[in-house]
């Protein structure tokens, strides 16, 4: 049968109203497979997209590979909304990934004024009749999140703030860190602006800028390829700034891989800190070693240890410990919407909380000062961990991080000592940051 083809607004040109011919059947098949791989393999959208393209091919769609990826990413991000609409119409009837993909494309075309081919209309009318009659969609579904996350946030924030927070996490925010181990800040900014990038400087870190306009993917820039600039979110940078690393400090990094924060510590100390970097994955540590070398880090001052950070013991205490613990990654949804799919499993934060408490408890035994952070908007992994640790230990006290960002959730006693970053307020990923001193 001749493939269904129709006029479709090019995904990256929605605002310029330029049109292109797209094979909707082919696009639906690819983005459906990406969703399937994300759900079954629990991997990021980009990795799922690469996997699908390698296994099934991503050609003959009528749009560029980059546009196809962006469409796949948007489909994954809108999964809960599409599923809610389909289930509202079909009730208990089963549905396929491909059906969800076609409904998504139908809604996207309708939203942007695209021409909807009669064959696609018939397919939608057959599988999802009265789809246009679904008018009232609850906030959690409209913004496309697991309902339990919305309900959990309502326990600690007003409904208006929850909506703003979730809405902000649906928008990607890009920050660039200039790697001063390889290039001067002013020179890097000059090259980026000459390339057509519009940047917004950050007053907390002169080497950090927010990307306002990007004429092409940052990963394709020579500055990125040679390690002169690094994609690192502001919240991640703030975690290291809260640690206040100094030259000649001995630092234990209890969850070091992939090594972005480790490299920033070395940048801030001009390669003169001494870091013991730990991770439970030997593969991640090997990748970290290569990455640190690429970033110009003096690898002779880094010891990489394959270990369980919950149980490792040291003879000497470190001046500083960094605990950027494994977590639900709920604060990083703007970077990777596949996290929404993975977080269908409501038990993840509770499992992570136990691990986080164990790592932080061990870190405090072996350090004078400790910074605890998680890329999470959920209180189980932030305030509740810190309050539990405060009850358990008398060796360290919780102190102000000194960061100019938001505070914690007021439901908890530590709210005005700890720091949080909220995407809709602080223009970065959602992080929790706390500082302990002996």
The C-alpha atoms of residue 273 and residue 244 are separated, in whole angstroms, by 12
In this predicted structure, what is the pLDDT of residue 20?
61
Which pLDDT score, from 0 to 100, does residue 16 have?
40
Model confidence pLDDT, tens digit, residues 270-284: 999 999 999 999 999
Does the pLDDT of residue 1 top 50, yes or no? no
CB neighbour list of residue 158: distance below 8 Å, 6 or more residues apart = none
Give the pLDDT score at 8.
56
Topology, domain 5-135: N-utilizing Substance Protein B Homolog; Chain A (1.10.940)
Nearest CA to 411 out of 436, 387, 437 is that of: 387
Tell me the pLDDT band of 437, cut-offs 50, 70 and 90: very high
Examine the pLDDT at 421 and tell me if it is beyond 80. Answer: yes
pLDDT digits (tens, 9 = 90+) for 302-340: 999 999 999 999 999 999 999 999 999 999 999 999 999
Q: Cα–Cα–Cα angle for 288, 292, 296, nearest 5°?
A: 170
For 256-275, what is the mean pLDDT? Answer: 98
Contact 342, 376 (CB under 8 A): no
Q: What's the pLDDT at 119?
A: 82
User: Quick one: pLDDT at residue 298?
Assistant: 98
pLDDT at 11 over 60: no
Query: With contact defined as beta carbons under 8 Å apart, do 344 and 35 qualify?
Result: no
Plot region of 425 (φ>0 → left; ψ -120 to 50 → alpha; else → beta): alpha
- Residue owning tokens 């919240």: 235
Mean pLDDT of 364-379: 98
Q: What tens digit of pLDDT does each residue of 127-185 get?
A: 999 998 898 999 999 999 999 999 999 999 999 999 999 999 999 999 999 999 999 99
Residue with tokens 């613990």: 325
Give me the residues paired with residue 435 across strands: 371, 399
The pair of three-digit structure tokens given for residue 244, joined into one six-digit string: 């206040």
CB count, 10 Å around CB of 226?
14
pLDDT of 18 > 50? The answer is no
Average pLDDT, the chain: 94
Residue 104: both structure tokens together? 């998504």
Q: What is the pLDDT of residue 22?
A: 77
Per CATH, which fold does 175-231 belong to? Alpha-Beta Plaits (3.30.70)
**pLDDT value at residue 112:** 83
Whether the pLDDT of residue 19 is over 90: the answer is: no
CA angle 338, 59, 99 (to 5 degrees): 50
Kindly list the domain boundaries of the chain, sorted by start residue: 5-135, 175-231, 234-437
Contact yes or no for 409/151 (Cβ under 8 A): no
pLDDT band (50, 70, 90) for residue 10: low
Residues 6+ apart with CB under 8 A from 345: none
Q: What is the pLDDT of residue 155?
A: 98
Gyration radius (Cα) of the chain, Å: 23
Per-residue model confidence as pLDDT tens digits over 338-352: 999 999 999 999 999
CATH class of residue range 234-437:
alpha beta
pLDDT per position as a tens digit, 75-115: 999 999 999 999 999 987 899 999 999 999 999 988 888 77
Does residue 258 have a cis peptide bond before it, meaning omega lies within 30 degrees of 0?
yes
Answer positive or negative: Cα dihedral of 146, 149, 155, 160: negative
What's the chain look like in SS3? CCCCEEEEECHHHCCCCCEEEEEHHHHHHHHHHHHHHHHHHCCCHHHHHHHHHHHHCCCCCCCCHHHHHHHHHHHHHCHHHHHHHHHHHHCCCCCCHHHHHHHHHHHHHHHCCCCCCHHHHHHHHHHCCCHHHCCCCCHHHHCCCCHHHHHHHHCCCCHHHHHHHHHHHCCCCCEEEECCCCCCHHHHHHHHHHCCCEEEECCCCCCEEEEEECCCCHHHCHHHHCCCEEECCHHHHHHHHHHCCCCCCEEEECCCCCCHHHHHHHHHCCCCCEEEEEECCHHHHHHHHHHHHHCCCCHHHEEEEECCCCCCCCCCCEEEEEEECCCCCHHHCCCCCHHHHHCCCCCHHHHHHHHHHHHHHHHHHCEEEEEEEECCCCHHHCHHHHHHHHHHCCCCEEECCCCCCEECCCCCCCCCCCEEECHHHHCCCCEEEEEEEC
pLDDT, tens digit, 9 for 90 and up, residues 21-63: 678 899 999 999 999 999 999 999 999 999 999 999 998 888 8
Distance CA 30, CA 36 (A): 10
CA angle 241-246-250, nearest 5°? 110
Identify the residue with better confidence: 6 or 185.
185
What's the confidence (pLDDT) of residue 23? 86
Task: Output the pTM of the full model.
Answer: 0.93
Nearest by Cα to 254 from 82, 436, 39: 436
Of 9 and 118, which is predicted with more confidence? 118
pLDDT at 9: 53
Rounded Cα distance between 425 and 248, Å, is 36
Q: How far is CA 134 from the centre of its chain?
A: 31
């Amino acid at each position: 049968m001749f493939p269904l083809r129709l006029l479709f607004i090019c995904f990256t040109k929605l605002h310029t109203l330029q049109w292109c011919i797209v094979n909707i059947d082919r696009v639906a098949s690819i983005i459906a497979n990406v969703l399937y791989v994300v759900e079954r393999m629990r991997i990021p959208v980009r990795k799922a997209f690469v996997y699908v393209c390698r296994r099934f091919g991503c050609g003959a769609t009528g749009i560029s590979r980059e546009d196809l990826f962006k469409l796949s990413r948007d489909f994954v991000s809108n999964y809960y909304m599409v599923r809610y609409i389909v289930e509202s119409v079909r009730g208990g009837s089963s549905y396929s990934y491909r059906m969800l993909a076609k409904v998504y494309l139908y809604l996207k075309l309708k939203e942007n004024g695209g021409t909807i081919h009669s064959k696609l209309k018939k397919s939608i009318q057959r599988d999802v009749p009265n789809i246009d009659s679904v008018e009232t969609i609850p906030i959690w579904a409209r913004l496309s999140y697991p309902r339990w996350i919305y309900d959990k946030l309502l326990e600690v924030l007003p409904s208006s703030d929850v909506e703003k927070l979730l809405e902000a996490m649906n928008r990607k925010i890009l920050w660039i860190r200039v790697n001063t181990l390889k290039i001067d800040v002013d020179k890097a900014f000059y090259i980026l602006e000459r390339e057509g990038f519009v940047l917004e400087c950050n007053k907390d870190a002169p080497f950090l800028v927010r990307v306002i306009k990007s004429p092409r993917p940052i990963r394709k820039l020579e500055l990125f390829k040679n390690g002169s600039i690094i994609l690192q979110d502001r919240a991640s940078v703030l975690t290291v700034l809260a640690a206040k690393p100094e030259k000649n400090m001995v630092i234990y990094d209890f969850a070091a891989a992939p090594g972005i924060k480790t490299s920033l510590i070395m940048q801030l100390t001009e390669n003169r800190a001494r870091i013991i970097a730990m991770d439970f994955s030997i593969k991640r540590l090997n990748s970290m070693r290569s990455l640190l070398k690429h970033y110009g880090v003096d690898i002779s001052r880094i010891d990489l240890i394959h270990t369980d950070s919950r149980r490792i013991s040291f003879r000497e205490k470190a001046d500083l410990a960094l605990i950027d613990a494994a977590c639900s990654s709920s604060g990083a949804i703007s970077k990777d919407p596949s996290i929404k799919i993975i977080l269908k499993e409501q038990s993840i934060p509770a499992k992570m909380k136990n691990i986080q408490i164990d790592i932080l408890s061990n870190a405090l035994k072996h350090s004078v000062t400790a910074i605890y952070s998680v890329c999470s908007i959920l209180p189980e992994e932030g305030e509740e961990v810190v309050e539990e640790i405060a009850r358990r230990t008398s060796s360290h006290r919780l102190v102000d991080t000194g960061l100019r960002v938001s505070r914690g959730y007021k439901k908890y006693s530590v709210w005005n000592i700890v720091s949080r970053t909220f995407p809709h307020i602080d223009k970065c990923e959602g992080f929790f940051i706390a500082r302990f001193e002996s």
